[in-house]
Structure 1
Amino acid sequence: MKEKTTPVYDILGISSATICLVHCLVFPLLTILPLGLSHSPFIDLTFASIGLFSILKIIKKSNLLTASILLISMSLIWISVLSELFFEIHLDLIFIGGIGMIIGHFLNYQSHKKIKNHDTTNKF
């Protein structure tokens, strides 16, 4: 039963990181337009919290490379979010961390998919 939960958290992590990355790339362009939009670091904090939740759920079942990519990426995201929240300094580390999160979750999803396919083919 636990084998099914890891892909769910990987998909949650991939989705959250992708939406966050799109938000971080598109939102500065929208602030140029006179729409009255302002950036809130709490949105980034929400995406970072979802990413942290999914990482904590899958990190024990990941290989060393994937776990390292996810942890480093999440650290970069949290450094960027907290620096913006407390010091009002925008760091571009969030873009690197977002891309790393997508790659890390994708690699983890693929590795579990291969293991699952390998286990089902060896049952007969």
Structure 2
Amino acid sequence: MKKITTNFYDFLGISSAAICLVHCLIFPMLSILPLGLNHNPFIDLVFAVFGTFAVSKIIQKSNILISAVLTVSMVLIWLSILTELFLDIHLHLIYFGGIGMISGHLLNYKLYNKQNH
């Protein structure tokens, strides 16, 4: 059985965080148009589940700085999503969490490639 590399989890994390960030930035603009679109925090929840999976795999093998950046970013994202789900309050923490996720995964990807090449 082929072992899945850290590069795969970084790609999954970067993709999930980038798509989520685009969704969070673009959707408020789309909701202004009379298209009948409503924001659904369960979409954010799906992105967070993928991100949490990728982060859990990466922090096992990365250094303390990258682990801290990814963990804090996931906490910010989860706080924002859960606050919106249960309290119907939209916090802007999700933007900082998304940027942190992308940054952490990019740092880990560069560090991993530098060590293995």
TM-score bracket relative to the smaller structure: over 0.9
User: d(CA) in 1 for partners of 2:77 and 2:33?
Assistant: 27
Any unmatched runs of 5+ in structure 2?
none
Per-residue deviation, 1:36: 0.6
Bigger Cα Rg: 1
Per-residue deviation, 1:57: 1.0
Per-residue deviation, 1:96: 0.2
RMSD of equivalent CA atoms:
0.9
- Say yes or no: does 1:107 pair with 2:68: no
Q: TM-score, normalised by structure 1?
A: 0.91
Per-residue deviation, 1:109: 0.6
SS of the counterpart of 2:9?
helix
SS of the counterpart of 1:60?
coil
- Say yes or no: does 1:32 pair with 2:32: yes
Task: Figure out how many residues of one structure are paired with residues of the other and give that number.
Answer: 116
User: d(CA) in 2 for partners of 1:103 and 1:7?
Assistant: 14
1:13-68 deviation per Cα after TM superposition (whole angstroms, max 9, x unaligned) = 00000000000000000000000100000000000000000011111111110000
User: d(CA) in 1 for partners of 2:113 and 2:19?
Assistant: 23
Q: TM-score, normalised by structure 2?
A: 0.97
Any unmatched runs of 5+ in structure 1?
118-124
- Match for 1:32: what amino acid? I
1:66-118 deviation per Cα after TM superposition (whole angstroms, max 9, x unaligned) = 0000000000000000000000000000000000000000000111000110x
- Match for 1:56: what amino acid? S
| 2:88 paired residue number | 88
| 1:14 paired residue number | 14
